[in-house]
Amino acid sequence: MALIVQKYGGTSVADADRIRVVADHIARTRRSGNDVVVVVSAMGKTTDDLVRLADLVSSTQTPREMDMLLTAGERISMALLCMALADIGVPALSFTGSQAGIITDTDHQRAKIVEIKADRLTEAVRSKTVPVVAGFQGVSTAKNVTTLGRGGSDTTAVALASVLQADVCEIYTDVSGVFTADPRVVPSAKKIPAISFEEMLELASSGGRVLALRSVEFARNFNVPLHVRSSFTWEPGTWVGEEGVAMEQAVVSAVSHESHEVKITITKVPDHPGVAAAIFRAVADQGVNIDMIVQNTSVQGYTDISFTAPRSEMEAALSVTSKAAIGIGAESVSADQDIGRVSLVGAGMKTHPGVTAKVFETLAKLDINIEMISTSAIRISCVVREKDLERAVVALHEAFEL
């Protein structure tokens, strides 16, 4: 008998019919002899609708009240799911983040879980009742309602799986697993049966949108096996776990891409110690998420520095960088939105030094210029012109026979 945490995303509970289908699946999982703990997101576009409502009412969207507003979404979906379960004879109880004992810090809209007091959930499981927990939300140490930010429901599920020592955390979504590339770009892309936490982390941070980065980090840190699968097909999806014998050590597991970034370049930066620190401390203090950084070789005491950041943070990045540039005596700051990033991820890369060369050759053959490069032990990322991005993804997917 296993304990399974099942997390259902917004598309999985988008309407009354889908909610009943999910209830059936939970019942079937129980009939197979498992205990189930459910984590649920808000229905379909509920969260977007609530944000739109807030836009209509006010331009002062205080974080505390936005959290109060948005948490109404899961409240609705979890209550409905419990009623659908009651309809087919499965005893269930809904729990808000607060009732589930999910204690967070006081950082509204992107709170971090500091503790989980899971007594009520454990008690429910013991009495053969399915706890249905609101994803994405918690209660702060100051007793205010908080949300965990983007991908928060995945994080709730993984955190609960860890605390409850679940055998697996199933993440149900609208795709049937993790693919070797985005199937919309590469129609021949294949589902990956199993992948390591490290590879999944690199994928999540380089454009793969199936799992939130934070939840994968959490799963790796607490060694919670994940199973990413679709609530539309119910077929086995992708297992994410520790690197091990069961997992094939593919040289390259997947190609991912990201086209929502901007490249900021600071030209003629006086090249002396502390200059880069001055720039990136200022950028970090502004809360801008930097991805890649490249610094040119110094010529006559000057250098150029480029970095990429999410396009949504462009204005903040430009404003803080321009200020910093003046402070250090650099010449100018420019932003380039027409870029894309393609990444190769694979645990086997560590022991196959030829991968980088093959990437460069593949792109060169297509006459695609590489503007920035960054690598980790199991990932290679290249920034190219945005118009070349999809060609690069297709070519690399083919070159590495994925």
Is residue 86 near a second copy by the rule CB under 8 A?
yes
Closest distance of CB 131 from a second copy, Å: 13
Closest distance of CB 21 from a second copy, Å: 11
Q: Which of 127, 126, 144, 146 has its CA nearest to residue 136?
A: 146
Residues in region 23-52 near a second copy by CB under 8 A: 50
Q: Nearer to a second copy by C-beta: 129 or 259?
A: 129
Closest distance of CB 4 from a second copy, Å: 22
Is residue 308 near a second copy by the rule CB under 8 A?
no
Q: Which residues contact 134 (CB under 8 A, 6 or more apart)?
A: 39, 40, 71, 74, 75, 78, 94, 95, 96, 97, 100, 156
Closest distance of CB 62 from a second copy, Å: 5
Distance CA 249, CA 237 (A): 18
Distance CA 282, CA 287 (A): 9
Distance CA 241, CA 250 (A): 15
Is residue 54 near a second copy by the rule CB under 8 A?
yes
Which of 37, 93, 213, 393 is in the footprint of a second copy by CB under 8 A? 93
Neighbours of 267 (CB within 10 A): 16
Contact (Cβ atoms closer than 8 angstroms) between residue 238 and residue 192:
yes
Is residue 326 near a second copy by the rule CB under 8 A?
no
Q: Nearer to a second copy by C-beta: 60 or 297?
A: 60
**CA 115 to chain centroid:** 21
Is residue 84 near a second copy by the rule CB under 8 A?
yes
Q: Which of 270, 281, 251 has its CA nearest to residue 399?
A: 251
Is residue 83 near a second copy by the rule CB under 8 A?
yes
Residue with token string 């209550």: 79
Closest distance of CB 233 from a second copy, Å: 22
Which of 4, 14, 40, 78 is in the footprint of a second copy by CB under 8 A? 78
Is residue 68 near a second copy by the rule CB under 8 A?
yes
Distance CA 221, CA 209 (A): 20
Q: Nearer to a second copy by C-beta: 87 or 107?
A: 87
Is residue 96 near a second copy by the rule CB under 8 A?
yes
Is residue 80 near a second copy by the rule CB under 8 A?
yes
Q: Nearer to a second copy by C-beta: 60 or 127?
A: 60
Which of 21, 51, 79, 370 is in the footprint of a second copy by CB under 8 A? 79
Is residue 299 near a second copy by the rule CB under 8 A?
no
Distance CA 286, CA 313 (A): 10
**Contact region with a second copy (CB under 8 A), list: 72-80, 121-129, 269-277, 350-358:** 72-80
Q: Nearer to a second copy by C-beta: 13 or 166?
A: 13
Is residue 94 near a second copy by the rule CB under 8 A?
yes
Q: Nearer to a second copy by C-beta: 64 or 350?
A: 64
Q: Nearer to a second copy by C-beta: 22 or 203?
A: 22
Distance CA 158, CA 152 (A): 10
Q: Nearer to a second copy by C-beta: 120 or 311?
A: 120
Is residue 57 near a second copy by the rule CB under 8 A?
yes
Residues in region 109-138 near a second copy by CB under 8 A: 120
Which of 3, 27, 51, 76 is in the footprint of a second copy by CB under 8 A? 76
Which of 20, 227, 341, 379 is in the footprint of a second copy by CB under 8 A? 20
Contact (Cβ atoms closer than 8 angstroms) between residue 180 and residue 402:
yes
For binding to a second copy (CB under 8 A), which residues are involved? 16, 19-20, 50, 53-54, 56-62, 64-66, 68-69, 71-73, 75-76, 78-80, 82-84, 86-87, 93-94, 96, 98-99, 120, 143, 145
